[in-house]
Amino acid sequence: MKQSSIQTSNDLVQATKHWKFVAPILTYPKNESQYKALSKRLDQLLDMVGENEKHPLIGLVDMLSNLIESYDNKHFQITESSSLEALIYLMDSNHLTQSDLPELGSQGVVSEILKGKRHLNLRQIKALAKRFNVNASTFIDD
């Protein structure tokens, strides 16, 4: 057996040993209760990952986001909107100005985000999701 085949086999053995712990997290939600639980897990994971986009669990963030997005696409009539459009909508509906968003950074940073010149980073996404009580995926563009 080649070295790469041995490594693959060892990876599969390890994955099999731990699958019963991982599987509940990596399952497509079948109902709203499971959807909410998965969203809560994503929020907890984002708290763990913090601003570190090179964190070893960033792939898990992507996977959970994809599972949530799949449920959203199947169960909610969502018109395509960007994270910027979502932010502007939430600001308007909550009667907020850019000065009401210090969690995004300086006024210059907020202005650049609102003009589409700068993208939201992971810390900002977490802060906005918490502030507006929405799923973090609201502020993640493909």
Domain-by-domain residue ranges, the chain? 3-75, 83-139
Q: What is the C-alpha separation between 69 and 77, in angstroms, rounded? A: 12
Out of 23-27, 59-63, 72-76, 125-129, pick the least confident: 72-76
Asked if residues 47 and 126 have their Cβ atoms less than 8 Å apart, the reply is yes
Average pLDDT, the chain: 87
Which DSSP string do the residues of 7-43 spell out, in sequence order? Answer: HHHHHHHHHHHHHHHHTTTSS---SHHHHHHHHHHHH
Q: So what's the pLDDT on residue 72? A: 83
Predicted structure pTM score: 0.51
Query: What is the per-residue pLDDT across 1-35, written as a single tens digit (0 to 9) for each?
Result: 556 566 668 888 888 898 898 888 888 999 999 99
Is pLDDT at 49 greater than 70 in this prediction?
yes
Instruction: Please report the sign of the dihedral spanned by the C-alpha atoms of residue 93, residue 48, residue 44, residue 34.
Output: positive
Q: What is the mean pLDDT of the segment spanning 107-112?
A: 91
Q: What is the C-alpha separation between 41 and 38, in angstroms, rounded? A: 5
CATH of domain 83-139: 1.10.260.40
Q: So what's the pLDDT on residue 78? A: 53
Asked if residues 140 and 65 have their Cβ atoms less than 8 Å apart, the reply is yes
Query: What is the per-residue pLDDT across 72-82, written as a single tens digit (0 to 9) for each?
Result: 888 876 566 78
Out of 2-11, 54-63, 78-87, pick the least confident: 2-11
The residue among 89, 74, 83, 94 whose CA lies nearest residue 135 is 83
Q: What is the mean pLDDT of the segment spanning 88-111?
A: 92
